[in-house]
Structure 1
């Protein structure tokens, strides 16, 4: 699986993030996928703090051992070489009691409402669970966020044998983890701003470089949807697809869209982009030749880079979530007798 967000290479530390949801309806509930990423050339990451926007509600009472989602990640294992290795696994709830405040180096002296573990591993290999500490925001952070998620990594650039070194020199590159039954969307329309603070290590020291902390943002329009339908009126040999795009309650002009098409094969339907267009007052149209085989089509507004909005620290990227229409089926024209 290719992750939807990649960091934009510009300096020694340029992380990025994105948020992708099963539903963008106000008050809706569904799977939320959080993507965080950095470049291979970036300094290793020490700490990531993800903030959900005000208005989101979170249920943090899942029983320990419950699987609440899945994770897909890419890492480098420096002891094995420079290649990128893909990892997959489950996201599970754990007991906060397993992470005593007195010995927790990631969040010293802090107790947590919930802990999730990212159990990503190579196929056939045991996972080295990475804890995510989850709390409702308090204090100054409650002014801009509802929930705070914190994860830490060990320094892969320390010498072998240093107990602070990550196992086998494992360096985080990117991860997409989903959770279900946790988040409920805000009740009001608008652009919801997720923030993530990334702090790198000063390489080879095991010491976080606080001055190098960077922010990345994920913008979630709400409501956010793309409608699609086949228009029967089309010139001979063609078909027409049309619909509307709702971005946070607006009907925008100039929003880029892609049309994807695929046919059924032995392993299912493989979609590929076949056309693109832009909206005009929230509307779009695609005119295509009738296919030779039964074809399935959908429209996507891809993840889009936008300007950062009032960052807490230097901001390296801001990405608006994607939206995907339903799927329509188009059959070939009847054979002539």
Structure 2
């Protein structure tokens, strides 16, 4: 029987790390997750934040959008939560993302030609809500913010019951997430998504309350080195580093896999480094070592919001995407 016993965990000091602390709860927030075939976008805010009138999400340069889906085609799924003021309760929403004719417009929302419109066909409390996402290609001065924009408009919730155009049940957005499949071609490298949100105030646009939020999307990586440090004692040291966007990722949970099975866990140091010392017992065999890490989305407002995109529009929150990464495999006979 072969057995590895962990002898030591080395904490390696360092600076310049990207700390993986818990998210700092702020006002409005933008989150983006991507794979080779899917894109997930989430906007969220506190219940005390005003209802958004318009949310404009800027897709960074380098991405392309496939707008060829015919009307009626399901291209993804959507979920969310609203706070129903009339009932004083939060309500969950869910549904499909469906392509609709590009001439579809929410009244007064985004009166420009669209390359596509995606309808968030939501169901909530036995009611159906259709929320168009207008997809526009950017040109002129606005192209400095990205290659496309996604525009969503919501009805006011802070007007008297019975007011024409009031949101159903006085619903106020808390969060909305939608995933589309086989629509985006991913940009290479690190990207910054930006959202500009203008709220309602007393049933009228509140331009002075406009804010910017950002989502930094970056792939992460984990390295692994494993070697025998004492043949007589049959001791192996496995070490490596977790990084994202060129910076060390501190506090990342690393799993060390032996022959494909997770056997030991450790968190990375301030320098993103980790090290585990193991002793082997039992008969001599070949063992395959590999490291894996899964890092959650976290707050990056301090650095991510340092330079707002528009004059007089504060950047109030920035997130950096989570990631999963695996190292190379190393085989050692010991």
Q: TM-score when scaled to structure 2?
A: 0.73
Aligned to 2:76: 69
Aligned to 2:100: 94
1:283 is displaced (CA, Å) by 4.2
Paired residues of 2:58 and 2:146 also in contact (CA < 8 A): yes
Paired residues of 1:256 and 1:301 also in contact (CA < 8 A): no
Q: How does 1:207-218 map to 2 (within 5 A)?
A: 207-218=204-215
Number of aligned residue pairs: give it: 281
Q: How does 1:173-188 map to 2 (within 5 A)?
A: 173-187=174-188
Aligned to 1:8: 25
Q: 1:47 aligns with which of 51, 54, 69?
A: 54
Query: Per the alignment, in what secondary structure is the counterpart of residue 128 of structure 2?
Result: coil
Give 5+ residue unaligned stretches, structure 2: 1-21, 257-264, 279-290, 328-334
1:286 is displaced (CA, Å) by 6.2
What do residues 61-104 of structure 1 show as CA deviations (whole Å, max 9, x unaligned)?
Answer: 211111111112111111111x32222211111112343xxx83
Q: Are the structure 2 counterparts of residues 104 and 226 from structure 1 closer, same or farther at C-alpha, using a change threshold of 3 Å?
A: same
Q: 2:45 aligns with which of 38, 41, 48?
A: 38
CA RMSD of aligned residues (A): 3.4
Query: Which structure's CA Rg is the greater one?
Result: 2
Aligned to 1:220: 217
Q: Are the structure 2 counterparts of residues 58 and 92 from structure 1 closer, same or farther at C-alpha, using a change threshold of 3 Å?
A: same
Distance 1:240 1:95 in 2: 59
Aligned to 1:324: 324
Distance 2:249 2:103 in 1: 51
Larger CA deviation: 170-179 vs 147-156: 170-179
Query: Per the alignment, in what secondary structure is the counterpart of residue 41 of structure 1?
Result: coil
Aligned to 2:251: 256
1:258 is displaced (CA, Å) by 2.9
Q: Are the structure 2 counterparts of residues 160 and 6 from structure 1 closer, same or farther at C-alpha, using a change threshold of 3 Å?
A: farther
Aligned to 1:197: 196
1:309 is displaced (CA, Å) by 4.1
More strand by share: 2
Distance 2:38 2:237 in 1: 32
Paired residues of 1:164 and 1:206 also in contact (CA < 8 A): no
Structure with more contact order per residue of length (Cα contacts < 8 Å, sep ≥ 6): 2
Query: Per the alignment, in what secondary structure is the counterpart of residue 253 of structure 1?
Result: strand
What do residues 230-286 of structure 1 show as CA deviations (whole Å, max 9, x unaligned)?
Answer: 9697999xx9976543423x3x3353313589xxxxxxxxxxxx8633363x54346
Q: Are the structure 2 counterparts of residues 242 and 76 from structure 1 closer, same or farther at C-alpha, using a change threshold of 3 Å?
A: farther
Matched, 1:118 2:120: yes
1:300 is displaced (CA, Å) by 2.0
1:310 is displaced (CA, Å) by 2.0
Paired residues of 2:241 and 2:248 also in contact (CA < 8 A): no
Paired residues of 1:6 and 1:39 also in contact (CA < 8 A): no
Paired residues of 1:6 and 1:38 also in contact (CA < 8 A): no
Distance 1:170 1:241 in 2: 53
